[in-house]
Structure 1
């Protein structure tokens, strides 16, 4: 498992400098949405039980209980899968590289890494009212070559993370001039 001090395939003498998960507001939105959709069957019952007498009959009550059980199972599965996605999406910044571990469903995970010396364009993007109020956003990292961009999604203090990774990349390039981008070598 990934911790703030160790992760699989960690190189010898590699130090973890940042261990980043999505902002807590993301999981709060999931919990609030789950609570709201959990209340719907109760509100439905309270409204229709007073208006109509059909829910007092055994057959209709049994169908209603069956429907509510299936609905509750759906809500629990929705909440659980979204929490797993939140909890297992991790970005690790070490003194040598950046590792992106992204959960793609319950049984699929994508892990990729980029060396600090190959990073060229590091940008933060904060969109929307809530992102501005709670200080979270996305960090985009473009590397040399045709590789796809890293995107740190909905992380806290995106501007500060961008600055720190830019500083780390500059320090890494000074300490390891041979690891520069392909354009520098050509």
Structure 2
């Protein structure tokens, strides 16, 4: 790859040459690309959280004659604990579900819940094709899509879903494939 200037876009959801390491990184392995879902794809849960945050303000008006102040405060406290847990968990899922491309391999790290992690990986030499797919108005407007990395036979295929600049990610993977096969 060319010069190693690190840069990030879209609230750190697309980082080229990030200045970081990861758990299973080999000594001579350099992280070239770190991707996570485009921030605009997080809007549904963010809007839901805002609505959930506002609900008690209106609900308090209707239950104020039925419940004591202490009961309302307890219900509100419990409700907001649930809302903050919802926000925290969704933020963690966005932050830790990443795609990594190094000079040696491609990795897809997915957390299905807070206790279970699925890491799929393949070496750059085993990659047969990298494809970017975008479709739809929002994907075109906000420049995000899916990247599919195919491997031969029964080897693990890698998917980077709803990431920013999928064409640029494919170009980086293709360049690494050319260097590995040279």
Name the TM tier (shorter chain): 0.7 to 0.9
2:152 aligned residue: 144
Q: Which has the larger radius of gyration?
A: 1
Structure 1 residue 118: deviation in Å?
0.9
1:6 aligned residue: 21
TM-score, length basis structure 2: 0.79
SS in 2 for 1:92: strand
Q: Residues 23-61 of structure 1: CA distance to partner in whole angstroms, max 9, x if unpaired?
A: 222344433321122112212334x3xxxxx6235x355
- Equivalent position to 2:77, from 69, 74, 85: 69
Q: Comparing both structures, which one devotes a greater share of its residues to helix?
A: 1
Structure 1 residue 171: deviation in Å?
2.1
Q: Distance in 2 between matches of 1:20 and 1:41?
A: 36
Provide structure 1 residue ranges, at least 5 long, that are not aligned to the other structure: 49-53, 175-186
**Size of the alignment, in residue pairs?**
165
Conserved 8 A contact 1:4-1:19: no
Q: Residues 5-26 of structure 1: CA distance to partner in whole angstroms, max 9, x if unpaired?
A: 3222222221111122222223
SS in 1 for 2:115: coil
Asked if 1:30 is matched to 2:35, the reply is no
Aligned alpha-carbon RMSD (Å) = 2.1
Q: Distance in 2 between matches of 1:97 and 1:163?
A: 15
Q: Distance in 1 between matches of 2:136 and 2:86?
A: 25
Q: Distance in 2 between matches of 1:29 and 1:160?
A: 26
Q: Distance in 2 between matches of 1:62 and 1:123?
A: 58
Asked if 1:116 is matched to 2:124, the reply is yes
Deviating more after overlay: 59-68 vs 69-78: 59-68
Provide structure 2 residue ranges, at least 5 long, that are not aligned to the other structure: 1-17
TM-score, length basis structure 1: 0.78
Conserved 8 A contact 1:117-1:170: no
